[in-house]
């Protein structure tokens, strides 16, 4: 009888011990499979998610005053965190189309289809309407290099230079196909500036999301080789247009590389660019497209400036350390 009781006690103890191990093992598996906010990594992710939600609400409040349509996307390049408000909505690009055009030109340079030092003759008959300052550049026949045409198109948003470059790469459809080959399905170039002036239905369109992805990929060296990328970013950093947009409310000395676009009579105001955060906190890729707004142009520009500053401030404390 004692032997039977002893065996029963041992069996009971073994069952309890196994149950204890099983419970602890199950708890460990549950913890591994379902990480909680107690883990440092998940806490950071949760903090970033909360911050993105707060930023989204602040940006919605800013853009709601436009009285039209605003598409925007903001990506912190090093962390990949993105805020998107109507970012997949196709909207008119206007002179922002000169950014994908410049990429197409520089890809042709990489592929030995074009040379940056190639001289291109332009006559007064080819002048495309634009600012008086730019059209005055073409009052006499003149030869300019591809580099010079890029500089005028990107830095000064000159329309005549842009249309000459468009001819060199094979026309509007060639730029669209180049963008598609690089993975940007929503950057659609339908016309030159001259063609658009003649037929306003031939508007070039794009989405803030695709433009931001393009900026991210450019910054990370996935599209252009360093020599060509340096040319493009150098011109974007020295842009003379749209000083009241992305750049306006940022701290003095903030490095910005952007390309602006504007519709006639203030029907649209755009700016897309790269913003460098201070103290190694990374970079922002940002695209803001304002269309059919009821605000005057100055107020549309202020809206873009506020989007840039709020995004800048929001990422200062949240940004991941930049990769050297």
User: What CATH number does the domain located at 59-316 have?
Assistant: 3.40.710.10
Res. 22: pLDDT tops 90:
no
pTM of the predicted model, to two decimals?
0.84
pLDDT of residue 310: 98
Q: Measured between alpha carbons, how far is residue 122 from residues 4, 113, 142, 160, 228 in Å? A: 108, 20, 6, 9, 24
**Across 65-81, average pLDDT:** 96
Instruction: Supply the DSSP symbol for 188.
Output: B
Res. 19: pLDDT tops 50:
no
pLDDT tens for each residue of 171-230: 999 999 999 999 999 999 999 999 999 999 999 999 999 999 999 999 999 999 999 999
- The pair phi, psi for residue 153, each rounded to 5°, is -70, -45
Are 205 and 92 a contacting pair, CB within 8 Å?
yes
pLDDT tens for each residue of 25-51: 444 334 444 443 444 444 444 455 778
- The pair phi, psi for residue 265, each rounded to 5°, is 55, 30
Q: Can you tell me the distance from the alpha carbon of 151 to that of 148, in angstroms, rounded to the nearest whole number?
A: 5
141, two tokens: 């026949």
| Domain assignments of the chain as residue spans, ordered by start | 59-316
* Radius of gyration over every alpha carbon of the chain, rounded to an integer in angstroms: 27
Binned at pLDDT 50, 70 and 90, residue 266 comes out as: confident
**Across 272-292, average pLDDT:** 98
Res. 82: pLDDT tops 90:
yes
**Across 52-71, average pLDDT:** 94
pLDDT of residue 28: 39
pLDDT of residue 2: 40
Q: Can you tell me the distance from the alpha carbon of 115 to that of 170, in angstroms, rounded to the nearest whole number?
A: 15
**Across 67-88, average pLDDT:** 97
Res. 12: pLDDT tops 90:
no
Pairing mode, if any, of strands 69-76 and 283-291? Answer: antiparallel
Binned at pLDDT 50, 70 and 90, residue 20 comes out as: very low
Q: Can you tell me the distance from the alpha carbon of 115 to that of 11, in angstroms, rounded to the nearest whole number?
A: 86
**Across 83-93, average pLDDT:** 98
pLDDT of residue 1: 39
Are 309 and 250 a contacting pair, CB within 8 Å?
yes
Instruction: Supply the DSSP symbol for 255.
Output: -
**Could you tell me which residue, 9 or 285, shows the higher pLDDT?**
285
53, two tokens: 């939600």
pLDDT more than 90, % of the chain: 78
Are 219 and 230 a contacting pair, CB within 8 Å?
no
pLDDT tens for each residue of 155-175: 999 999 999 999 999 999 999
Dihedral of CA 176/187/172/99: which sign?
Answer: negative
Lowest mean pLDDT among 41-45, 285-289, 306-310: 41-45
**Across 119-148, average pLDDT:** 96
**Could you tell me which residue, 93 or 264, shows the higher pLDDT?**
93
Helix (H) / strand (E) containing 304: helix 297-316
pLDDT of residue 265: 76
Q: What's the mean per-residue pLDDT of the chain?
A: 87
Dihedral of CA 218/130/121/191: which sign?
Answer: positive
């Amino acid at each position: 009888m004692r032997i039977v009781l002893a065996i029963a006690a041992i069996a009971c103890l073994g069952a309890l011990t196994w149950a204890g191990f099983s419970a602890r093992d199950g708890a460990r598996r549950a913890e591994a499979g379902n990480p909680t906010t107690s883990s440092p990594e998940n806490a950071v992710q949760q903090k970033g998610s909360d911050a993105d939600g707060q930023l989204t609400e602040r940006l919605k409040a800013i853009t709601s005053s436009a009285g039209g349509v605003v598409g925007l996307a903001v990506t912190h390049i090093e962390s990949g965190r993105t805020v998107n408000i109507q970012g997949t909505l196709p909207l008119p690009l206007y002179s922002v189309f000169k950014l994908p055009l410049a990429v197409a030109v520089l890809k042709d340079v990489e592929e030995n289809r074009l040379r940056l030092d190639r001289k291109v003759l332009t006559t007064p008959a080819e002048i495309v309407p634009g600012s008086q300052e730019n059209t005055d550049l073409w009052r006499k026949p003149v030869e300019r290099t591809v580099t010079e045409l890029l500089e005028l198109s990107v830095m000064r948003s000159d329309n005549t230079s842009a249309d000459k470059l468009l001819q060199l790469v094979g026309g509007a459809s060639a730029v669209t196909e180049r963008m598609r080959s690089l993975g940007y399905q929503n950057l659609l170039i339908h016309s030159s500036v001259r063609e658009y002036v003649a037929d306003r239905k031939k508007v070039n369109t794009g989405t803030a999301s695709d433009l931001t992805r393009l900026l991210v990929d450019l910054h990370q060296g996935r599209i252009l080789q360093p020599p060509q990328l340096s040319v493009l970013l150098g011109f974007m950093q020295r842009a003379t247009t749209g000083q009241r947009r992305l750049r306006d409310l940022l701290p003095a000395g903030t490095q910005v590389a952007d390309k602006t676009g504007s519709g006639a009579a203030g029907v649209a105001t755009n700016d897309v660019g790269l913003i460098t955060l201070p103290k190694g906190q990374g970079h922002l890729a940002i695209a803001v497209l304002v269309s059919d707004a009821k605000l005057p142009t100055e107020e549309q520009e202020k809206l873009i400036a506020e989007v840039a500053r709020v995004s800048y401030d929001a990422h200062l404390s949240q940004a991941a350390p930049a990769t050297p």
